[in-house]
Every structure is written in C-alpha cells, then in structure tokens.
Chain A
Amino acid sequence: MRIRLERRGEVPLYVYILAPTGAFLLAFLMGAFLMLWAGASPIKGYGAFLRGAFGGLKPFTNTLLRATPFLLMATGISLSNRSNVLNIGAEGQYIMGAIAMTWIAVLMQNSVPGFIVILVGVILAVIVGALWAGAAGYLKAKMGINEVVVTVMLNWVAIMLLKWLLRGPLKDPRSQQWPMSPPIGPHLPYIYGNLNLGFVIAVLLAIAIWYVLFRTNIGFKLRACGENPRAARYAGFNVEGMLILSMLISGAMAGMAGAFDVIGTFHILYEGIVVGLGYTSIIVALVGKNHPLAVIGSAIMFGAIYNGVTSMQSVTQLSYTLSKCIEGMIYLFFLISEFLVLYRIRLIRGDAS
C-alpha cells in the first residue's frame, strides 16, 4: 500500500473556510490540554479569555489597542512577503522605532509642543525602521545573503542597543533600580478609553497598501517580481529594486508600530517592549494570507488572543506565555490546513502507480 498526494482540481469554497477554522479550533483545543496540564480549568480559563477580549466596549477597545502593532507590522510583512523576501526582523525594526521616538521625546518634550515631538519622532522612527529592514533587503538583492539570518542578527543588535541605552544615555536619572527611560508626556489623541488614533492610522495604511498592491502599476510590478522573478526580469522590471523597496516599506511600518506603542500605550521605554510582537506579526500575516485587508481581521484576532490571555492570567494564574504556545500551534495547524486544501491524500493498494 502506498500513500500518494494529488493536487485537487476545483477547491470548493467551504473547504477554504472550514480548513482555517479547524486549525484555530485545534489550536485552542491543544491550549485547553495545556491548561489542564498546568492545573487550571479550561472552561474558566476560556471564559475569562472571552470576557477579557470581547466582553463589552472597554475590553474590545483594549483588543483593538493590542491589535495596532500587529496590524502595522503584519501589513508591512505581507507586502515584503509578496515580493518574496521574508522579514523576520520586524522585532528589531519595532525596537529601533521605539528608541527613535523615545530619543526625540526625551530631547525635545520640555521645549516644543507635543504634536511636534510626535511628528518628528514618528518620522524618525519610520526612517530608522526602514533603514534597518532596507539593509537586509539590500544584502539579499545585491549579494544574495539570506534575509532571515540578516534580519535576526539585526534584531539582536537592536536588543543589545536598547539594553545599553536604557542603562546609559536614555536612563531616567530618577530611577535607581530599573533600566527605563524618563516618562514621555506627548501622546496620541485618545478615541475611547485607552484606544488611540494609532489604530485608525494603521487601518487606513492597510487599506492604502491594499490599494497600491492590487490597483496600481507599481503594486503589480512588485507582485510580479515576487511571484516569478525570472519572467519579471524578462519583462524589464527591476526585481532587486522592488525587493529593496518592499523591505523599506516593511521596516517603515514596523518602526511606526514601535513609535506608536511608546506614545500610545507605554508612555515610557523599557525592556519589557521586547516580547516578540514582531515575530507574532509574521503569523498574523500568514493567517491573513498576505492580503492587507484580511490582515486587518487577523490582527484584531491576535489582539484578542493577547488581550484575552492577559485577563485569563489574572483569573487562572496561568503564565501569559500561553498565548505564544497557542499562536505557535495556530501557525502549524494553519500550514497543515493549507496543505489539505491544496492536496488530496490517497491510499493506493498494491504496487500499481
């Protein structure tokens, strides 16, 4: 008996919907087993999870707040994925953006109006993030160096830079113990509760990038270069240029996410910002199938997972890192479900092939 894979011809629509739903349910089911192993009740746990993520306007706005960095970074990652370069470095670009914003705020907040601080800070964060990713894009395009390795190295450079700055030049002189920056006064305008303008900007940018990707000439070129570089080069498109451009934009979005988190959520810079949001955003982009509009939904869902797990933590005393396990499993099951959508597995009896 042999096992053979066959490509499905027409894929019915319900398969497209059922497969990812199944992936999510399986991941949450595995999460329930993990909770049982950790000695907590999954029913209580998921109850707290749902209340924390969706139970009313205030929890929901918190979910949207959590979704903001995911949305910005995952939109950028989708764009670079489209030109066939994998940006694992959103984490580092996010940190660099946060550093740039904080640096400007510490330098200027006592002398100029808040909105100027924000404007200058965000612009600098976008530039720094773009360069941090663009460097990896350049090395990939011009020298063929694996972008995954380069972006991860740059992540660690950013982490060490952050640790150094928080204990040295950016340290709050009044804080003796913890490495942290002075508090940052200027903040993004609030919409409701803690939810700020950053979310709206992120949604608008996702829509704008969708438009550029699917409705403009340059977006077409970018996708063509990613899907079939050889044909695109034959058509006279600048494949290397498109690759670098997509990384620049990807990094700019991540840098902006870092700046928004500093002036929208934390109002301070500390080492706790390094929790792997940039890595999670890769999963967000995958679940959104690299489509900026789908990424909006997927980012809100991951915001809900992070927000829900936080309130689950206070009820069940489970570690918040459960969200990392669940997202890892979502990723793996999602891959398998994609595969099952595309292929049919057939058992063949006997030797005949």
Chain B
Amino acid sequence: MADSDDGTDAGPPRLRLRVTRSAADRTVIALAGRFDAVEALAVRERLARADITGAGHLVFDLADVTFLDSAGLAVLVRTRQDRMRTGGSVSLIRPVSEDSMRVLRLTQFDQIFTMVDGRARGTT
C-alpha cells in the first residue's frame, strides 16, 4: 500500500490510500487500485492510526478501486463494526468499476452500508 497520492513506486501495482479530514468528525479514506488480500493488512494497520481511530464517521471512497476481494470486504466489515460500537458510522462511495460494484451487490454490502454516489466526492 502506498500511503500517498503519487503512486509512482516501481514494482507491482500497489493500492493507493489517501486520508482527508473533510469535517470535524468526518474522514474520507480514498483508495485506488486493487483492494485485495495482498493489501488488506497494510490498510488495517493504517486504519489503526490515531487520525482515523479518532474520527467517528468514516467514508471509504472506493471510486477508483478496480479489484475488490473478500479480504477487502473484511476490512470494511471490521471498520464498520468498530464504529457502530462507538456511535460512529462508515459509508461507501460507489466504485466506478463494474467488477468492484458487482462484488458489493452480490454480497449485499450495497444494501447494508450507506452508499454514496461518487459525484458527491469532495463535499465538505
């Protein structure tokens, strides 16, 4: 996982992750690339840092996620469960990729999570 927005690392394509605090208690985690078992642990570790654990309301921006597997889904589930225990929330910005969106549909994540249209990105 590249914890930046340049994405210029050599080697296999890495998931890019960028964290943006868009309001006092709302943080957007933008992911781009493959959100799979290769990347899931690094994402979990990034989500455990204070800037994210201190935010009550998280938005995963999945618009640029091109491949999503069950390990990526597990990260979303765990994060949502953690937030629900403390009165927070997790919502998802829809992937543009039909392949990624299909995974959310067939697991019914699109019905359980609050789904946000990508055009709302950047809203503060």
Are chains A and B native binding partners rather than an unrelated pairing? no
Q: A: which residues have CB within 8 A of B?
A: none
Q: B: which residues have CB within 8 A of A?
A: none
